[in-house]
Structure 1
């Protein structure tokens, strides 16, 4: 099996983790964690603050080399990451941001196609400062998917956007993932976002998987059905939210 830059190796599943431990001093942030993600599968990861969600993403991205131990740790070499902040270079135009680090013939054409896929055709020479927050995040998605990753890691990519823009980005992300078919691991605090987007929702608690729920609701998954309400209530309960007093419109789970 090929070796990942962060010490990972690739197997038949997009991600296959057994017994993963990541400790900071005496504290185990990831504690004998097991997780498998199939090729093309979309998994949402939710949990209270400090449960290890972002730590797991950094391990899979190959940028955390302090893993204490594992029995198996397989992930693709071709991994892209989308952050809450679009992280565009302000001194480069949009096309240059999308193709940053991309080499080989046709790089510019691929970048222009990626911008068109996110609804920004004809904006190749615009500067990041000319874009809204939602448009900047569209560029970030284009930059990640232009490389045709086998695994897309998304760390609360829509957390800074307003509600209407977030809904539009949900539809765009699902459309892009169906077209490019990467495996996806999305970290979010928004239970409704997890239900709307994912094939599975995984609950992380104290560094371990506390629940792994397949989402079988038909798309589009608009709130209102009894099945949706039951699933939402179950996930919120696992996050420590009292669903008897939580208003239906509450989406963000903020933990101290």
Structure 2
């Protein structure tokens, strides 16, 4: 179970098993307040398992280790997970009493001012993900966990959502852990990119301007086991 302590996100010796297989095997990780971290890894490497551990959503999974996160944590999934019987504003402020004004402000921040009374099925996939982002922002999180939130969107919408997420990050400065399978997405958005392999952090690259994007991309692809000249 994740504990709440300070603003630094710290994972120590995290192990998670499904049957005899250790998906996470003694993983250590720290994320500083206001840092944007992207997590890459092959399918089945444990990316979503780590995110669920940070969110406190994996009590039914065997394992050990310690997870310390801020008290205010929000999660955005690939599926927007909106309640179809609730209007947009009601989805955003779900579970938060007297938060309608803050909800309207968050919808305006993601470009959906005036759509408060719309039903989810009246929105495009990109608009639904904007609602999901607004729902996460209304809680003013210190940590935002994003599990491949743009994976189901078309290429143009994905680029627009990249720009929106980065702008919201600059405005609100939560710590962010973005789980993605897209190396270019990770490089475009994050301050630091991690590669998960064999249950641990297998590689790490900081995007501080000291190394070319082409070189960083090649190194990350090699860490993912991709050796072709892409």
Output the TM-score relative to the length of structure 1.
0.86
Q: Deviations over 1:152-208 (max 9, x none)?
A: 110000001111111110010011111111111000000000000001000000111
* Equivalent of 1:216 in 181, 184, 208: 208
| Counterparts of 1:133 and 1:68, CA distance in 2 | 36
Structure 2 equivalent of residue 51 of structure 1: 45
The answer as to 2:230 corresponding to 1:238 is no
- Kindly indicate whether the alpha-carbon contact (under 8 Å) linking 1:84 and 1:159 is maintained by their aligned counterparts in 2: yes
**Cα distance, 1:12 vs structure 2:** 3.9
Give 1:77 shift.
Answer: 2.1
1:81-112 per-residue CA deviation (whole Å, 9 max, x = no partner) reads 10111111111111001011112x3x100000
What does 1:75-224 correspond to in 2, within 5 Å? 75-103=69-97, 105=98, 107-217=99-209
Equivalent pairs counted in the alignment come to: 229
Which residue number in structure 2 is paired with residue 33 of structure 1?
27
Shift of 1:67: 4.6
Q: Secondary structure of the equivalent of 2:131?
A: helix
CA distance in 2, matches of 1:161, 1:232: 22
Post-superposition offset of 1:29: 0.5
CA distance in 2, matches of 1:136, 1:98: 11
What is the RMSD of the two structures over their aligned residues, measured on CA atoms?
1.4
Q: Tell me how far apart the structure 2 counterparts of residues 143 and 217 of structure 1 sit (CA, whole Å).
A: 33
- Report deviation, 1:11: 3.2
- In structure 2, the gaps of 5 or more residues are none
Cα distance between partner residues in 2 of 1:21 and 1:59: 10
